[in-house]
Amino acid sequence: MEVAMSAVAGELVSRFISLLMSKYHSSIHAQSKEQNLAKRLRHLLMRVGTVVEEADGRYITNSGMLAQLKMLSEAMYGGYRVLDTLMYRALRNSAGFDEVSSNDSFNSHLYLIKRSRRMADGAGCLESDGALESLEAAAANMTEFVMLLGGCERMSRRPYDTYLYTDNFMFSRHAEKQKLLSFLLQHNDPPGGGQATAVLPIIGGAKVGKKTLVAHACGDERVRARFSSVLHLNGDSLLRHGRTKFGVKMLVVIEFASDVGDDDWKRFHSLVTRMGRGSKIIIVSRLQRLARFGSVKPIFLSAMSYDELRYLFKTLSFGSEDPAEHPQLVQIADEFAKNFHGTEGSLVATNAYADVLRRNLDVKFWRRILDKGMRMVKRNLAIYGMHPNTLIYHGHPVDITDFALHPLRMTPYSVRFPVREKWPSVTFGDLITNPGIRPKGDFTLVTWESRIPPHRSFPNFVTSCAQDTHEGSPLSGRKRQGVAI
């Protein structure tokens, strides 16, 4: 009997060891495959990134080349996301990370992240293969593109423009920048000696970079040399602009918040035409109806893709530091990007939070900021039934109690509610990292100030909303009744 039991036990131990060895070899094979994928991705990204950067410094007028440039940039940003995922997975499997937070809500959030990671490992391999195939296809078709690129005139770059991926440079929008420059630099006067002024509409949602795109093009050396001056107008001054210069080549940039009648537009267009031959008009608006006034195909600016937004946020957050040396922070940056993507004003939120995180590359600090942001989103969804970015987009109040540890409500300044110059002012970064600096009484909170033209600032009016909360329970957990959205 003992001999039989010993034989059975030996067989079980042998099978268990065989199972472990099989899993070990499978794991080694999978890791080796991922390492090869990462190596090939890194090599392709270097090649594609070099071409995209070079293309960004040339004047491209060929529509086919612009389409290919867009495809290259999309494949590049997707490849960077997959490469980061592969690198983090390899480090996690080899060493493991302490992902424990003192915050219960964050612990539960991390548990869901870990669970989703385990479920997505198989899908991740397929995604890695797909990203590699996409990059390989893009790289395989680059030869002709690179040859044609060599015949495109090089731009005269300002010092800060040589650093493609910094917060002092307009990120992405490669094809759109080229289309706008091509419009401004082309001699597209109508045949037969006509003098009708060319019009390009730039249409897009709020805070997607329409005016930044225009400012970038107006800063180009050849554009500045081509036009005597650049005139910035808004729709209200369409027919009230009395100091018009005639006989000079003007670039008129006009922003519309509402639609304009066809007769009013014809009178304004005729006025610009009389300014001087070669004058041009750029329309900036959210309204697609205004595209009807264009003499060329409009530029439609949509929100950035997730891969673009994620890459931008990671680049801004790490600054001059190498993200590869902070794999945990890269994963937290992904969570920020997921929360920003698909919401109005995501570019503003991306820059505002990145400015904060860049101050301290510490895992606990980043988690604390992420936790505050997630609690603020949940609070506003519970109170108003809308994401805070959507509320700001429509000019409605946002509850920022979680940022200041005091019941506060923030409302964006507008034409109807101008900035109070004499009120104390605090930046978003200072308030979220040190709530103790909150001024007593009402104050101005500056969410973010752009470092590139047109150097736009995003100020908000902040007031206490303590009277709207129950003592000891600032969030009742249900939507308030009677709140106008």
Domain with 263 in it: what CATH number? 3.40.50.300
Query: CB of 283 within 8 A of CB of 290?
Result: yes
pLDDT tier, 98 (very low <50, low <70, confident <90, very high otherwise): very low
Q: What is the pLDDT of residue 415?
A: 57
> Averaged over 164-184, what is the pLDDT?
74
Q: Is residue 474 part of a domain?
A: no
412: how many CB neighbours lie within 10 A of its CB? 20
Q: What is the pLDDT of residue 104?
A: 47
CA angle 61-62-65, nearest 5°?
120
Sequence-separated (6 or more) residues with CB below 8 Å from residue 10: none
> Which of 267, 301, 335 marks a domain boundary?
301
Average per-residue pLDDT in the chain? 79
Mapping DSSP to helix (H, G, I), strand (E, B) and coil, where does residue 398 land?
A: strand
> Averaged over 134-154, what is the pLDDT?
87
Q: Find the helix or strand (DSSP H, E) in which 277 lies.
A: none
User: What's the gap between Cα 477 and its chain centre?
Assistant: 31
pLDDT tier, 184 (very low <50, low <70, confident <90, very high otherwise): very high
362: how many CB neighbours lie within 10 A of its CB? 12
Sequence-separated (6 or more) residues with CB below 8 Å from residue 65: 55, 145, 148, 149
Q: What is the pLDDT of residue 110?
A: 46
Does the pLDDT value for residue 161 go beyond 50? Answer: no
Q: Is residue 259 part of a domain?
A: yes
> Averaged over 349-356, what is the pLDDT?
93
pLDDT tier, 294 (very low <50, low <70, confident <90, very high otherwise): very high
Interstrand relation of 443-449 and 425-427 (parallel, antiparallel or unpaired): parallel
pLDDT tier, 34 (very low <50, low <70, confident <90, very high otherwise): confident
Q: Which of 137-141, 204-208, 441-445 has the lowest mean pLDDT?
A: 137-141
Q: Which of 91-100, 405-414, 417-426, 449-458 has the lowest mean pLDDT?
A: 91-100
Q: What is the pLDDT of residue 119?
A: 44
- CA 281, CA 77: separation in Å to the nearest integer? 33
Q: What is the pLDDT of residue 18?
A: 55
Q: What is the pLDDT of residue 91?
A: 72
- Clarify whether residues 399 and 331 are in a common domain: yes
Q: Which of 185-199, 221-235, 379-393 has the lowest mean pLDDT?
A: 185-199
- Clarify whether residues 147 and 188 are in a common domain: no
pLDDT tier, 138 (very low <50, low <70, confident <90, very high otherwise): confident
> Averaged over 422-445, what is the pLDDT?
91
Q: What is the pLDDT of residue 163?
A: 36
Mapping DSSP to helix (H, G, I), strand (E, B) and coil, where does residue 443 land?
A: strand
Q: Is residue 166 part of a domain?
A: no
pLDDT digits (tens, 9 = 90+) for 10-25: 555 555 455 545 544 4
- Clarify whether residues 370 and 271 are in a common domain: no
> Averaged over 195-202, what is the pLDDT?
89
- Clarify whether residues 325 and 433 are in a common domain: yes
> Which of 237, 270, 301 marks a domain boundary?
301
Q: What is the pLDDT of residue 473?
A: 37
- Clarify whether residues 234 and 144 are in a common domain: no
Does the pLDDT value for residue 362 go beyond 90? Answer: yes
Residue found under tokens 């423009």: 161
> Averaged over 172-191, what is the pLDDT?
82
- CA 399, CA 379: separation in Å to the nearest integer? 7
Does the pLDDT value for residue 106 go beyond 50? Answer: no
What is the share, in percent, of the chain residues with pLDDT greater than 70? 73
- Clarify whether residues 338 and 450 are in a common domain: yes
Enclosing domain of residue 186: 174-301
pLDDT tier, 171 (very low <50, low <70, confident <90, very high otherwise): confident
- Clarify whether residues 21 and 150 are in a common domain: yes
- Clarify whether residues 266 and 380 are in a common domain: no
Q: Is residue 247 part of a domain?
A: yes
Sequence-separated (6 or more) residues with CB below 8 Å from residue 111: none
> Averaged over 284-297, what is the pLDDT?
94
Q: Is residue 195 part of a domain?
A: yes
- Clarify whether residues 329 and 358 are in a common domain: yes
Classify residue 153 by burial, with Cβ atoms within 10 Å: 0-12, 13-18, 19+. exposed
Q: What is the pLDDT of residue 278?
A: 87
Specify the pTM. Answer: 0.76
pLDDT tier, 125 (very low <50, low <70, confident <90, very high otherwise): low
- Clarify whether residues 232 and 341 are in a common domain: no
- How many structural domains are present in the chain? 3
The beta-carbon contacts of 395-402 under 8 Å, at least 24 apart in sequence, are 396/484, 396/485, 399/465, 400/376, 400/445, 400/462, 401/376, 401/465, 401/469, 401/474, 401/475, 402/372, 402/373, 402/375, 402/376
- CA 41, CA 47: separation in Å to the nearest integer? 10
Q: Is residue 115 part of a domain?
A: no
pLDDT digits (tens, 9 = 90+) for 436-477: 999 988 999 999 888 777 778 889 999 988 655 443 333 344
Q: Is residue 42 part of a domain?
A: yes
- Clarify whether residues 60 and 141 are in a common domain: yes
Tokens matching residue 3? 């001999």
Q: What are phi and psi of 348, to 5 degrees?
A: -65, -45
- CA 392, CA 408: separation in Å to the nearest integer? 15
Q: What is the pLDDT of residue 173?
A: 85
Peptide bond into 412 cis (omega under 30): no
Which residues lie across from 409 on neighbouring strands? 399, 463
Q: Is residue 307 part of a domain?
A: no
- Clarify whether residues 131 and 201 are in a common domain: no
Q: What is the pLDDT of residue 29?
A: 46
pLDDT tier, 95 (very low <50, low <70, confident <90, very high otherwise): low
pLDDT tier, 402 (very low <50, low <70, confident <90, very high otherwise): very high
